[in-house]
Homo-oligomer: A and B are copies of this chain.
Amino acid sequence: MRADAQRNRDRIVEVARGVFKEKGYDAPLDEIARLAGVGPGTLYRHFPARENLIDAVQQELADRVNSMADKAIAHEGGPRERLLAWFEQYVELLTAHPGAAARVTTAMGDEASPIASKCKIYAGANTRVLAELRAEGAMRDGVDDLQVVRLVGGVAAIADQSRLGPEAIGPMLEVLADGVLKG
């Protein structure tokens, strides 16, 4: 890639991160182009669809999710505490950008989605936490990893769109934990 093209691409992603965080994933793309000091054509050449830009912006979140999973696994307490710690971290991550939770969770399991690579990273982190619990015999039989990541993502999506706080999210995640764990 030509040096000027790389520079423009980087600036677009950087600006988009800020705008998306503030205004959500439906923010006008032409405005991002303007703030990045490039024409709309340049933005659309680098990112043919909005989802491609979202994918680039989410690299930052994907970089954090695995250390989150590690922290949850190392969390003190029984399986329920560790699972809840993971759920809470994951919801917090997904609600970092308004509109992210619904998009990510919708794309989960869809290989053709432009954000499939990020979904894979999130799903992988979730699987690591669940594998740990499953090895301890704490998980109910028949519970699938993809189901769980969709359920938690669903909670995150509702929380995001309804602007729910931790006091409303916490009890919902507890229901999920009780449904996932033997008990």
A residues sitting closer than 8 Å to B (CB atoms) are: 102, 105-110, 140, 142-144, 147-148, 150-151, 153-155, 157-158, 161-162, 168, 171-172, 174-180, 183
Query: Which residue on B lies nearest to A160, using beta carbons?
Result: B106
User: Nearest Cβ in chain B — how far from A18, in angstroms?
Assistant: 25
User: Nearest Cβ in chain B — how far from A153, in angstroms?
Assistant: 7
User: Which residue of B148, B157, B162 contacts A175 across the interface (Cβ within 8 Å)?
Assistant: B148
Query: Which residue on B lies nearest to A179, using beta carbons?
Result: B179
Asked whether B150 lies within 8 Å of A172 as measured between CB atoms, the reply is: yes
Asked whether B147 lies within 8 Å of A109 as measured between CB atoms, the reply is: no
Asked whether B179 lies within 8 Å of A177 as measured between CB atoms, the reply is: yes
* CB<8 Å pairs between A and B, sample of 26: A102-B102, A102-B161, A105-B158, A106-B161, A106-B162, A108-B162, A110-B162, A140-B178, A142-B171, A144-B171, A147-B171, A147-B172, A147-B175, A150-B155, A150-B158, A150-B162, A150-B172, A151-B154, A151-B175, A157-B157, A174-B179, A176-B179, A177-B179, A178-B178, A178-B179, A179-B180
